[in-house]
Chain A
Amino acid sequence: MIEFEQFRLANGLNVVVAENKKAPIVAFDLLYHVGSKNENWGRTGFAHLFEHLMFEGSLHAPGKLFDELLQNVGGENNAYTTEDLTNYYELIPSHEVELAFWLESDRMRFLNINQDTFENQRLVVIEERRQRVDNQPYGTAMEKLASMIYDKHPYRWPVIGYVDHLMDSTLDDVTSFYQRFYSPDNATLILSGDISLNRAQDLSEKYFGEFKASAGIKRDFDFDQVLISEKRDTIYDSVQLPAFFMGFPTVSETHPDYLALDLLADILSNGKSSRFYQDLVYNRRLAQSVSAFQEQNEHPGVFGLYGIVRPGVDIQTLEDFTYGHIGKVAEYGVTEAELEKVKNLSISSVINRMQGVANIADFMSRYAGVYQNPGYVNELIQKVEAITTSDIQRVASTWFSPSNRAVLHYLPKVLS
């Protein structure tokens, strides 16, 4: 159980305080409700590129001062961007917490980027893409799968973006993106650790209180039709073992079926006693590894299956056996003991996310920043407990059919 208080400034900045005096440190997370789904085709990757630029200087903390000042007090800081949000965070000794307010407020309102730093960070991001995607075996699989599943929705492109779009972006794009999304009413501040509610109120008001709210954030995107027929593709890549990737459009994380789908993925592939591991990896020796997951997204996400075949095994055999497990759950259900097991694993992972002030802030940030509901972290265990075996069977028969999926095969490319 995480105890917390919540208040909102007149300009709309939402502030959550989870005081905890165990160690003299504070985790300071400032989450903006903007991610790659707020980008337009032609500028993919921009939300994440923008996150990089936020470290490149503001009016009162120019150049590299942001990092230097935080390092100088033993603070750590970083940020990440997803499809739905961008989260900037500091972990800082509590006696220096005011510095985080000063720095974060300055870059919320007074970001100061020039052409050189813009071009430099664009190169850095392209190297990040090469390192994580283009130079990795199967590295492009998830973005290719998403582009097959989504037709119009921005989830069809990757958060890191495409190189040609990054190269097309300009300093003007930076200004308009900043004005559109970086305002107090589109942000949530989560403070976890050694800071009192009073001090949090004083410092929030002092540093963020004078900023004006935006005129309203415009969010436009096209929702998709569901897939009406199967899509398949084969990629010849620099890989040693063939692999398949399969995706089904399912639900958002606020949908009533979300947790049941998440637990279904656990029953299939979480741990060495899971159905996939026992049947496909250990007993039949078809797969080197095989996995199931439900994406956690604000808009309807994907339920994914993927498997890497063992040498000498036919990829279609592994694909069929893997997909067959969903049919088995739909037809015969799961046992009470099996469900109890994945509930215990799920509860353990919730508890793990509540240890340490940085984990707590990160755990709360998504629910506070996207849904204005930080207390959801305390309801999660109960919601998991409430799922029944018939829920699992029902979602397995509702969301999966061969006509509602995209399938990719990665095969070793034959060097001529």
Chain B
Amino acid sequence: MALDRSKIPQGREPDPFIFPQWQEFTLINGLTVVILPDRRFPQISYRLMIPSGATRDGRQSGLTSLTSELLSRGTKTKSSSEIAELTESIGGRLSTGSQWDASFGFISSLSKYKEKSLGLLAESILHPAFNDEDIQFLIDQRLNNLLMSRDSTSFLASFAMGCTLFPDHPFELPINGTPQSLKSFNRPAILQHYKKWIQPCASILIVLGDVDPDQILPGIEASFAEWKPMPWESYEFPIMPLIKKNQVVVVDKPDAVQSSIRVAHHGVSRKNPDMPAIIVMNTILGGYFGSRLNMNLREEKGFTYGVRSVFTERIFPGYFAVATDVRNEVTGDAVKEIFHEIRGMQKELIDFKTLENVRNFLVGRFPSDFETTDQLSQALMELKLYGFDENYFSRLRNQISRVTAEQVLDAARKYLNPDNAIVVVGGKASEVAPQLSQFGDVTLFESELI
């Protein structure tokens, strides 16, 4: 007899979700060390997070990320080529860099070389060379990358979005800097920035992989012992400039066949206490495949391959943005639908079925989001960076599972702001600008910075 396929199979009882546990050690200089053994594979990695990121650039856009990138480009006794050779010989990768809130160092290798890789990371962080040739080389690489980015509508739209939302503010310009700022950096400026912002205190080193904690800890202490703590310089985040009415900004790329659209306004801090409701609200709007924006713009209208909405996750409030790429002739229609969906979230309570679906989606993902030690280390860094306690993720999971339709509506009304938003489009101005005047005064974006 054929199987009756009309019945949807019912799941079994879920296994309880237990958050992985970990052990922490703090060294005398304030560096926290977490070791997560996973002996299944002969591999090891070290991740270092230093809680000072590109917001520390001040008006020198790109200085933090250039300084941290240079950490993996040679030490006082080893050239950048030697460092690359030594790392890659042990099956390793060494990288250093910055995001807005933190800077990072990472090295991995086969576990039989665990002391070597630890040594290479520590030497790179503690004794960087910052030699002039490598500084100039990296600056040139970045200048050329920026030159190439002029042909990406997506880069152009994001660049203009930063400039329009955050004039004279740390979030105005990209983490990697601009041609103007990059050309002004030299060794003394980089060295000064390094001394001030690469500190062990409140930094965290996570060791993952085929390792015995008792065996590796003394080596870690010895490798980082020379890293002297200095008090962190206090840091005041500038007040956000106001957006008083809707504005439209077009960045012209005359031969574009698609428009990169950003509908954006100021966002919230990662530490916002309403975060569970904000997460549920944003997921419904544009945070997953079944979101209202994606169902409308992709699955009904066929305007785009995909559309997402996002609240940046930064210590200081960043932005909320809807981002998508659509063909030239539907650019205005797509923006209209985006506003329609944003306003729709503020109008009425969402139906229970949608709410339940999204809560289940978010809660059900937790086991797969914390499956590997790699994922766990990312989560740990988040806890440290934002000052959350060790139960934060279990609590967040419970809070998300209880978010109500009223809380979603409140969050939409409080944190979505379609009347103080900007519309930025990178694309063929002659074709798309006339479609956009319905949303506000249209300005053609011009900047000597790109």
A residues with a Cβ closer than 8 A to B are: 22-25, 59-61, 64, 67-69, 71-76, 91, 93-96, 98-99, 101-102, 105-106, 110, 119-125, 127-128, 130-131, 134-137, 206-207, 210, 238-241, 270-274, 277-278, 282, 285, 288, 308, 310-311, 337, 340-341, 344-345, 347-348, 351-352, 354-358, 415
The 7 closest A-B pairs by CB, nearest first: A74-B364, A123-B302, A344-B91, A272-B84, A273-B84, A128-B305, A348-B91
Q: In whole angstroms, how far apart are the Cα atoms of A352 and B373 in the complex?
A: 12
Q: Is B366 an interface residue (CB 8 A)?
A: yes
Contacts of B141 in A (CB 8 A): 288
User: Which of the listed residues B91, B253, B295 has the most CB atoms from chain A within 10 Å of its own CB?
Assistant: B91
Given the complex of chains A and B, what is the CA–CA distance between A290 and B230 in angstroms?
41
Q: Can you list 6 A-B contacts with CB-CB less than 8 angstroms, sorted by A residue number?
A: A24-B15, A96-B12, A130-B325, A238-B151, A273-B87, A341-B85
Q: Are B302 and A344 in contact (CB under 8 A)?
A: no
- Distance in angstroms from B41 CB to nearest chain A CB is 5
Give CA–CA (A24, B90) in the complex, Å: 34
- B248-295 with Cβ < 8 A to chain A: 253-258, 288-290, 295
User: B255 contacts which of A22, A24, A207, A238 (Cβ < 8 Å)?
Assistant: A238
Contact string, B355-397, partner A, CB cutoff 8 A, digits 1/0? Answer: 0111011111111101110110000000000000000000000
Q: Report B338-369 CB contacts with A as 1/0, cut-off 8 Å.
A: 00000000000000000011101111111110
Partner of A135, one of B92, B258, B298: B258
Q: Which residues of A contact B299 (CB under 8 A)?
A: 64, 120, 124
A95 and B8: CB pair below 8 A?
no
CB contacts under 8 Å to A, within B302-333, are 302-305, 325-327
Residue contact A127 to B303, C-beta cutoff 8 Å: yes
With contacts A127-B304, A239-B148, A240-B147 taken as known, whether A95 is within 8 angstroms of B13 at the C-beta atoms is yes
User: Are B110 and A91 in contact (CB-based, < 8 A)?
Assistant: no
A-side contacts of B375, CB under 8 Å = 356
Docked CA distance A35–B371 (Å): 31
Size of the B side of the interface (Cβ < 8 Å), in residues, is 77
CB distance from B246 to the nearest CB of A (A): 26
A288 pairs with B289, CB closer than 8 A: no
User: A351 contacts B14, CB within 8 Å?
Assistant: no
Chain A residues near B298 (CB-CB < 8 A): 124
Q: Return the CB mask of B36-67 against A: 1 if under 8 Å, else 0.
A: 00000111000000000000000000000000
Q: Are B302 and A95 in contact (CB under 8 A)?
A: no
Question: Contacts A311-B144, A355-B41 given: A69-B305 contact, CB under 8 Å?
Answer: no
CA distance A345 to B108 in the complex (A): 10
> Is A74 in contact with B371, judged by CB distance below 8 angstroms?
no
Once the chains bind, are B258 and A24 in contact (CB under 8 Å)? no
Complex contact B9–A74 (CB within 8 A)? no
Instruction: Determine how close the nearest CB of chain B comes to the CB of A279; give it in whole angstroms.
Output: 11
| Contact between B84 and A288, CB atoms less than 8 A apart | no
Partner of B371, one of A73, A96, A134, A357: A357
In the complex, which residues of chain A have a beta carbon less than 8 angstroms from the beta carbon of B358? 71
CB–CB A210/B2 < 8 A: yes
| Chain A residue at smallest Cβ distance from B38 | A355
Write out the residue numbers on chain B whose beta carbons fall within 8 Å of the beta carbon of A101.
9
Q: Is the CB of B290 within 8 A of A76?
A: no
Please state if A72 and B360 are interface contacts (CB–CB under 8 Å). yes
Inter-chain CA distance A69–B13, complex, in Å, is 17
Query: Which residues 75-134 in B have Cβ within 8 Å of A in the complex?
Result: 80-81, 84-85, 87-93, 108-110
- Expressed in whole angstroms, the Cα–Cα distance for A259 and B145 within the complex equals 32
